[in-house]
Amino acid sequence: MTKERAVERQKKLIEILGLLHEGGHFEEAKKMFDESFSDVDVSEITSAERELIAGGLDPAEIQKLCTVHASVFKGAIKDIHHSNYEHETPGHPVHTLKLENIVIKSLLHDELLPLFEKIVKGDLTLQNKIVTVLEDLYQIDTHYKRKEMLIFSYMEKYGITAPPQVMWGVDDDIRSEIKQLITDFSDPKFIINQLREPLFEMVENVDEMIFKEEEIMIPMVLEVFSLEDWEEISENSFDIGFAFIPKPLIYKASDAAKEVSLEHEPRRLAAIQESIQFSQAQQKSMKSEEVKEETVFVNLPTGKLNIEEMKAMFSVLPVDLTVVDADDRVRFYSEGPDRVFPRTTSVLGREVVNCHPPKSMHMVEKILEEFKAGTKDDADFWIDLGPRKVYIRYFALRDENKTYLGCLEVTQDVTKIQALEGQKRLLD
């Protein structure tokens, strides 16, 4: 394909996607696509979406129409030549992801929907069964976490930033939909006709996410990720866990795969460079724009702060904060100038017990068990770290209904505080 032809195709794809985002009809966009394309590369679709974001379109808007995009292109996305030939090997993260998707599809179409239709016909004894299936389906949370914490992080490393932003938002929507359906179907007074639309919408969204994972995301990353990347992703996957299937093997690239990947390294490097160049151009254009961005505020019971204020606050607090969610995985840490214990982004998504030395793991587990049981709300320790006295505190996080949300770890160097004597008034 000539450069001129590639540019023409890109402009047409942007025109079609732009039409959808400006309120155009799906049928019109589909007709435009069918008239102009017999097939399309994944890279062309994602480049068009990236151009729209670079032009000022909120990624959330692309997220809203993500399913529509997939429907427009479905059946026309062509196979591309992959630099990795072992992605169908048991243990390879792609193979594992696809195995989980097979189970997800079966849960949706072989269990959930048939159960729903039987309930519609009057068999209300199946209410508990459909709740059990929905709870089983919520294992999808682990499936998505592995994708978000590992595959997305490597995509971003190579400058592929738009697809993760969009897909993560859709993942969160699906999680919320399943949770709400579990609540609705657990209600003894549920009204079946009111649940048909949200149930079918959730099923459609999950099906479309499987399509996006397998037909858009996977072909894209197979062009860019190295065999070493896949080996690291496979190994780190065990820290997050697996959904629906037994633990797979840890993937190790074969000698034959390494030889083939060497042959295709120039192509991989070219794909990486294209992603990096786009990312740099996008950042440059954003810096040159004089349009003032809308300030986003977080409303709290005692006031509100914007995101920049919150980042600045966390950066100057004289304590290190780490937030662990209800599943005992690290969700956040503050970045002060002098952390007592260093943290890197690789800790995000890991089980918190694995972030501690073996000798203290049992203590962390005991604290979390007591927090979850409601028998304790806080715990504290102090240790000598060389010449420093370090004070470590744990606090259970609960909502208004006392539901356990997670744990806050607060670490502080109190050496100077212990040395304080006398008084120092504000005016001194």
CATH code, domain with 231: 1.20.120.520
Radius of gyration of the chain (CA): 25
pLDDT at residue 335, rounded to an integer: 79
Residue 335, class by beta-carbon neighbours within 10 Å (0-12 exposed, 13-18 middle, 19+ buried)? exposed
pLDDT at residue 278, rounded to an integer: 55
Q: Is the pLDDT of residue 53 over 70?
A: no
CA–CA separation, 169 and 26 (whole Å):
22
Residue 298 lies in a domain: no
Residue 130 and residue 194 in one domain: yes
**Residue that finishes a domain, picked among 292, 322, 348:** 292
pLDDT at residue 280, rounded to an integer: 55
Q: What would the pLDDT profile of 54-75 be if each residue is shown by its tens digit?
A: 666 655 555 544 555 555 555 5
Q: What would the pLDDT profile of 127-169 be if each residue is shown by its tens digit?
A: 999 999 999 999 999 999 999 889 988 888 887 777 787 788 8
Residue 428 lies in a domain: no
Residue 149 and residue 55 in one domain: no
Residue 186 and residue 149 in one domain: yes
CA–CA separation, 15 and 133 (whole Å):
42
Give pairs for 359-368: CB < 8 Å, separation 24+.
Answer: 367/394, 367/407, 368/324, 368/328, 368/407
| 284/14: higher pLDDT | 14
Residue 65 lies in a domain: yes
Residue 147 and residue 256 in one domain: yes
pLDDT at residue 21, rounded to an integer: 65
Q: What would the pLDDT profile of 192-203 be if each residue is shown by its tens digit?
A: 889 999 999 999
Residue 249 and residue 114 in one domain: yes
**Residue that finishes a domain, picked among 292, 315, 344:** 292
Residue 176 lies in a domain: yes
Torsion of CA 158, 161, 166, 169, to 10 degrees: 90
Q: What would the pLDDT profile of 349-400 be if each residue is shown by its tens digit?
A: 878 877 766 667 788 899 999 999 999 999 999 989 888 899 999 999 999 8
Do 8 and 44 touch, CB atoms closer than 8 A?
A: no
Residue 122 lies in a domain: yes
CATH code, domain with 392: 3.30.450.20
Residue 65 and residue 146 in one domain: no
Q: What would the pLDDT profile of 77-103 be if each residue is shown by its tens digit?
A: 444 444 445 677 889 999 999 999 999
Backbone CA torsion sign across 87, 90, 93, 96: positive
Q: What would the pLDDT profile of 228-249 be if each residue is shown by its tens digit?
A: 999 999 999 998 999 999 999 8
Residue 238 and residue 336 in one domain: no
Q: Is the pLDDT of residue 255 over 60?
A: yes
Q: Quick count: other Cβ atoms within 10 Å of Cβ 99? A: 17
CA–CA separation, 197 and 166 (whole Å):
23
Where in the sequence is the domain holding 25, given as residue range(s)? 1-76
Residue 390 and residue 267 in one domain: no
Q: What would the pLDDT profile of 30-42 be if each residue is shown by its tens digit?
A: 777 677 666 666 5
Residue 32 lies in a domain: yes
Residue 151 and residue 233 in one domain: yes
Task: Quickly state the pLDDT bin for 44 (edges 50, 70, 90).
Answer: low
Q: Is the pLDDT of residue 20 over 90?
A: no
Do 54 and 285 touch, CB atoms closer than 8 A?
A: yes
Q: What's the structural domain count of the chain?
A: 3
Residue 123 lies in a domain: yes
Residue 16 and residue 127 in one domain: no
Residue 426 lies in a domain: no
Residue 239 and residue 98 in one domain: yes
**Residue that finishes a domain, picked among 234, 266, 292:** 292
pLDDT at residue 90, rounded to an integer: 86
Q: What would the pLDDT profile of 262-271 be if each residue is shown by its tens digit?
A: 877 787 787 7
Q: Is the pLDDT of residue 298 over 70?
A: yes
pLDDT at residue 42, rounded to an integer: 56
CA–CA separation, 239 and 156 (whole Å):
20
Least-confidence region, from 9-13, 41-45, 284-288, 297-301: 284-288
Per-residue HEC secondary structure of the chain comes to CCHHHHHHHHHHHHHHHHHHHCCCCHHHHHHHHHHHCCCECHHHHHHHHHHHHHCCCCHHHHHHCHHHHHHHHCCCECCCCCCCCCCCCCCCHHHHHHHHHHHHHHHHHHHHHHHHHHHHCCCHHHHHHHHHHHHHHCCHHHHHHHHHHHHHHHHHHCCCCHHHHHHHHHHHHHHHHHHHHHHHHHCCCCCHHHHHHHHHHHHHHHHHHHHHHHHHHHHHHHHHCCHHHHHHHHHHHHHHCCCCCCCCCCCCCCHHHHHHHHHCHHHHHHHHHHHHHHHHHHHHHHHHCCCCCCCCEEEECCEEEEHHHHHHHHHHCCCEEEEEECCCEEEEECCCCCCCCCCCHHHCCCEHHHHCCHHHHHHHHHHHHHHHHCCCCEEEEEEEECCEEEEEEEEEEECCCCCEEEEEEEEEECHHHHCCCCCCCCCC
What's the mean per-residue pLDDT of the chain? 81
Which CA distances in Å does 66 have to 20, 84, 86, 161, 253? 11, 27, 29, 15, 33
Residue 198 and residue 134 in one domain: yes
pLDDT at residue 308, rounded to an integer: 85
Average pLDDT over residues 280-300: 57
